Amino acid sequence: MFSFCKMQATGNDFIIINYLDTKLEYSYKLLSEFLCDRHFGVGADGVLIIEKSNIAEFKMRIFNKDGTEAEMCGNGIRCFAKYVFEKNFTNKKEFGIETISGIKKINLEVEGDTVINIEVDMGKPIFELEKIPVLFFNNIKKGYINIEGIEVYPVSIGNPHAVCYTNDLENLDINKYGSLIENYKYFPNRTNVEFVQIVDDNEIRVRIWERGVGETYSCGTGACAAVVISNKYKSTKSEVKVDLLGGKLKIKYNSNIKLIGTAEFVFDGRIEI
């Protein structure tokens, strides 16, 4: 039998596996594909692995439902932070988590023994195309790339994002356009895609197409990407509320990006592998 914990943050759900003191027995890719299957497994958007770190308090590895490993996950890291604190792996309210995209600093708001809010310092956005990465540099103008008539703004929040704007979020064919942009030839590592409708200079609405997953209720790094691009090119303010299908997040952006939101336990379980 295999033990796990199911958690969610604004509807973006994850399976957390503790490998702090045990040895890997399975392929992370195959394990993630199996566990994330909503018909034959547990069901989730991704799997988070807790490992020991030599440079921070913990190391987080993130695997999408298709088995690919992601560099960073803003909703996932909030679940991860709440898990390690409330499961008594740490008593610190401020600590670092190692990810592929670097160490992310966590600040927990705690009442009693319960984490009620998590702030993640996501670092600085990356606009250099070769670092996102994006190919065909000559096609970019005014910050965006034209992909079959769609203005696409590329940025990295430790993982690649493509931000697009619409005035009709509800009737958007997200399966068509999300898949098109995710897999477009300009993005050698594929990309996450955010479709944004601006409400005012303090609030935006976003639908998410996650690389290797499809449409999800939320994406923390995606919300950050949408706010960064909206601030840079659409004159929104430095603190913005982001409305997603799964709930609301707050993003503060000056030089660094601060992601602020909640996370919730769903259940602990065991499954036959």
Residues noted as catalytic: 73, 219
Nearest residue to 72 (alpha-carbon basis) of 5, 122, 18, 128 = 122
- Tokens (6 digits) for 218: 């939320």
Distant-in-sequence, close-in-space partners of 94: CB < 8 Å, separation ≥ 6: 105, 106, 107, 108
Distance between CA atoms of residues 157 and 208, nearest Å: 15
Among residues 102, 197, 94, 237, the alpha carbon closest in space to that of 157 is found at 102
Q: Which residues contact 145 (CB under 8 A, 6 or more apart)?
A: 134, 136, 139, 151, 152, 153, 154, 186
* Distance between CA atoms of residues 29 and 17, nearest Å: 13
Retrieve residue 6's tokens: 């199911």
Burial class (CB within 10 angstroms; exposed 0-12, middle 13-18, buried 19+) of 74: buried
